[in-house]
A and B are shown apart, each in its own frame.
Chain A
Amino acid sequence: MVRLFGPLVGLFFAVALLWSFGNGAYVAITEPAAPTAEKLFHKHPKEVEFSFNGAFGKFDNQQLQRGFQVYKEVCSNCHSLKQVAFRNLADLGYSEPEVKAIAKQWATKAKTFDAKTGDAGERDNLPADHIPPVYYAGQGSPPDLSLITKARHEGSAYVYSLLTGYQDQPAELLKQFPDAKTPEGLHFNPYFANLNLAMPAPLTDGGVTYADGTKATVDQQAKDVAAFLTWTAEPKLDKRKQTGWAVLGFLLAATVLAYLAKKNVWANAH
């Protein structure tokens, strides 16, 4: 039975697939797919050197603090960072009083609700609070940035490339796709998936003043905030790699012993 019906079922699926293939091939030949502006002009993120790249890479706390400053003074006008609590900032090397001060001085206050009276109110943020959400009423919908570097391919380089990638629309693009002119209110950026985004170039040279004296070029700020957002997405990166080396070291030793044991046991059986 199996030998009789098996080949019939096989031929049934094969013929149906060849039918689909034939139709697809016919369409592909008669109406070749036209290239799109996104396909031709979208760019992959730039190559960037970060201190945390590679198996031995680590966060640079100075850089993370600078990146946090960029987030606080620029990004946080529109973008939330809701997975991060103020207490987490201690990881960047801030002392306890500094963390308390950062929380207390945060512009958006923590919302309170008195269950007894039903009154809504505000209070200063505490280290235990998460960074308050940002409500944005303008055009576009700024995403929460907590996980942005893990939510994009090559996320750290992507954030850096996007922030430094604003430019005029290439003449070549407009020549090939006259309809693809960047609409009013949007901004051209080849690193963004569909080339045009609502966010204007957010960084300017000297837009922030770094406490450690680093020159705040757009490139420097973009790199620092990309590093900071890598930390917000993967705060345990340093510990993960450190643990990984210890685990691999142990496993390597154990596996060598296991190999010798195996060789010993099998010595007389081959």
Chain B
Amino acid sequence: MSFPWANEYKPSHPLMQWLDEKLPLPRFVYNAVGAGYPVPRNLNYMWNFGVLAGVCLMIQIVTGVILAMHYAANTGVAFDSVEHIMRDVNWGWMLRYAHANGASAFFVVVYIHIFRGFFYSSYKAPREMIWLLGVVIFLLMMATAFMGYVLPWGQMSFWGAKVITGLFGAIPLVGEPLQQWLLGGFSPDQAALNRFFSLHFLLPFVLAGVIILHIWALHIPGSSNPTGVEVKQESDTVPFHPYYTAKDGFGLGVFLILYCAVLFFAPNALGHPDNYIAANPLSTPAHIVPEWYFWPFYAILRAFTSDFFFIPAKLMGVLAMFSAILVWFFLPWLDTSPVRSGHYRPLFRKFFYLLLVDVAVLGYCGGAPAAEPFVMISQIAAAYYFLHFLVILPLVSSIEKPQPLPYSITEAVLGTDEGAVLNANPAAA
């Protein structure tokens, strides 16, 4: 879109010319995901996950809207209405499993997308706004997923809602009234379930809006790429269509195979058995755990077991849990290395892999019962998490000596940049 050599949309059919004058929608599509959008030619499969995340949102909206036609957000019947969907609604079992596992698939894809951003420093100038909007998208996803998990009104729904809204109670002075206002009562009940349903329906469309901004911001500088060297010339790019439509098509196929394998053959593997027990405010489950995609943050929340000076442990946990995501907002200014790609940053790369292991350890501890040794492990892992972003990254970017970069993307792909013009066709030129 932004490069001067981008193909121009030239409709040949009179109808399309007529349409282009009145409402240039085909031109918009052509320039956004068509042949009119030049993209770096060296993107690897890590760059498939943005499109896949978009597909996940669509799967969630389509299955979710249909589920909402059969679901009843009333504490007396919510649990049974989900079972009604599983048993009596035509293909209802498939819709519900697609939606529940779709949430997990969405998070898998988005976590890979985020860690791609970490490794290739996709957050650096001129792409800070794309990154900031991405963090907003992730926060909205977390809120949506949390409220969606409450809707079946099983044991884990109820107690999860109780624990998470209880976090707001840790805020000094306003905490308790704030918690009651959010829940519409002292404990999750009819008011909370009804508003969670309403918000769970609303937020995906807010999400879609922010995703449009995310893609809009992306189309200003264009995609980053595995070398981190900016596009210099036409030979560094290929048109989005057919090159990346074809590549995304293959990636989508692989994704759908994995997703459907879970959906049809292990649909409850990622869920918790307790959520097949109807909510019971009088019976607390032995271990209250959120869904797997919240485990790293849940581990950070629970890692604070002692009051720190005058700050209660619970408040520290809540502050840390939110800070663990908010810190991503500051990433573009914490990592000041002029080199983007982790391929050319030997020291940064080591710490990146350490972070990957650290988050996996946090995730494991977050899913485990709150007992030793998991609490002590999660304390060390959480400390490393904060040190990584706030101390190590700034330090590494000032002391590290990056390896030499290729002159251009063309050189990185072909080994030499001379006369490397893609689709060189003297007749057409």
Q: Is the CB of A261 within 8 A of B246?
A: yes
Q: Is the CB of B379 within 8 A of A244?
A: no
Beta-carbon nearest neighbor of B242 in chain A: A265
Interface residues of A, CB < 8 Å — how many? 58
Assess whether A266 is interfacial by the CB under 8 Å rule: yes
Q: Is the CB of B273 within 8 A of A262?
A: no
Assess whether A6 is interfacial by the CB under 8 Å rule: yes
CA distance A241 to B327 in the complex (A): 43
Once A24-B376, A28-B372 are accepted as A-B contacts, the answer to whether A248 and B273 lie under 8 Å apart by CB is no
Q: Is the CB of A28 within 8 A of B263?
A: no
Interface of B is mostly: helix
CA distance A252 to B247 in the complex (A): 16
B84-98: CB near A (< 8 Å → 1, else 0) gives: 001100000110010
Which parts of A1-59 form the interface with B (CB within 8 Å)? 2-3, 6-7, 9-11, 13-21, 23-25, 28, 33, 55
In the assembled complex, which residues on chain B have CB atoms less than 8 Å from the CB atom of A17? 303-304, 320, 379-380, 382-383, 386
Assess whether A258 is interfacial by the CB under 8 Å rule: yes
Which parts of B246-276 form the interface with A (CB within 8 Å)? 246-247, 249-250, 252-254, 256-257, 260-261, 263-265, 267-268, 273-274, 276
Q: Is the CB of B265 within 8 A of A150?
A: no
B300-331: CB near A (< 8 Å → 1, else 0) gives: 00011110100101001000100100010010
Tell me the number of A-to-B contacts counted with CB atoms below 8 Å. Answer: 167
Beta-carbon nearest neighbor of B86 in chain A: A236
B contact residues, range: 35 or more
Beta-carbon nearest neighbor of A143 in chain B: B277
Once A9-B390, A33-B372, A88-B87 are accepted as A-B contacts, the answer to whether A23 and B254 lie under 8 Å apart by CB is no
B14 → A minimal CB distance (Å): 30
Once A24-B305, A244-B265 are accepted as A-B contacts, the answer to whether A151 and B273 lie under 8 Å apart by CB is yes
Selected contact of A255 from candidates B97, B247, B250, CB within 8 Å: B250
The 3 A-B pairs of least Cβ separation, nearest first, read A244-B264, A10-B390, A255-B253
Further 13 A-B residue pairs, CB within 8 A, beyond A24-B306, A33-B372, A258-B252: A6-B334, A6-B389, A7-B391, A15-B308, A21-B383, A24-B376, A83-B87, A151-B273, A151-B276, A151-B277, A235-B87, A236-B86, A255-B254
